[in-house]
Amino acid sequence: MKKEFITIIGAGWLGRPLCLSFLAQGFEILATTAHDKSEEFALDGIPYTSIDVATQVIPDKIINSDVLIYLIPPLGVSHVKKFFDQIPADKKIIFASSTSVYGKNMNEVDEDSELFDCSTGSPILFETENYLRKRFSNATILRFGGLYGDKRHPVFFLKGKEEVTGAHELTHLVERTECIDAITSVLKKGFWGQTFNIVSDLRMPKKEYYVMMAEKFNLTPPKYNFYERSFKETNIKNTKSKILLGMKYSDPSEFYTSSV
């Protein structure tokens, strides 16, 4: 059986290793970024084109792909619409959203939880998700937790910072390879028109977790503002991804990299 032709929009820190994984599995792919990186991608043998999704007319090769995977960080809904309004409504879409779409103090939430008030979440993602669901019956939305892996981890951005907020909010992280696993599982198992939370099991308060990780890497730990613990701290469930996609998550507290 002929494998589907896949376009990866936004082949950066997550998209580039995804491209390599697909190529190793024999998929025909096309990668895009907003800036010309043709020489870099040629070294890895990745078919590539540059395109600004907010302004350009979409080339036919992208429109005619079987699956479109959109990995660009949140843009305004008007920019997203400008791109997706050019894509046929029956296209298979995988859209990289984020668990930040959930607000604070929501207690336990899952993919079926109603998001009435996004004032503490991400209104851009909330509106974008709703637009995609209305336009595409085959749009699958993956709500990724905070990404880490390889040489990247949020603790390196937090080191030494003061007056950090959200001390008692719960951690919601996911390793890069697990994001690739989730995308691949959606593609191979055909879970279209779905929403999945892609996030590890660890639910340690951020203050405890990031101070612990800073000490692990001999970094100056961040200092958090006083914040009264809420009994309704948002706890995002990942059960659906485990059951349907077969996801197995690593423990973010065990992350280690020698490149500090």
Q: How many CB atoms lie within 10 A of CB 147?
A: 19
C-beta separation of 172 from 232 below 8 A: no
Residues of the chain where predicted confidence (pLDDT) is lower than 70 = 1-2, 116-120
Structure tokens at 19: 């491209």
pLDDT score for 229: 76
User: Whats the size of the chain, residue-wise?
Assistant: 260
Could you tell me how far CA 118 lies from the centroid of its own chain? 18
pLDDT score for 116: 65
Mapping DSSP to helix (H, G, I), strand (E, B) and coil, where does residue 237 land?
coil
Mapping DSSP to helix (H, G, I), strand (E, B) and coil, where does residue 18 land?
helix
Closest CA to 8 of 202, 180, 133: 180
pLDDT digits (tens, 9 = 90+) for 168-185: 999 999 999 999 999 999
pLDDT score for 120: 61
pLDDT score for 228: 72
pLDDT score for 59: 93
Q: What are the Cα distances from residue 117, in Å, to 38, 76, 126, 237?
A: 42, 18, 10, 19
pLDDT score for 70: 98
- The structural domains of the chain, ordered by start, are 73-148+175-200+235-249 (3.40.50.720)
d(CA 185, CA 199): 15
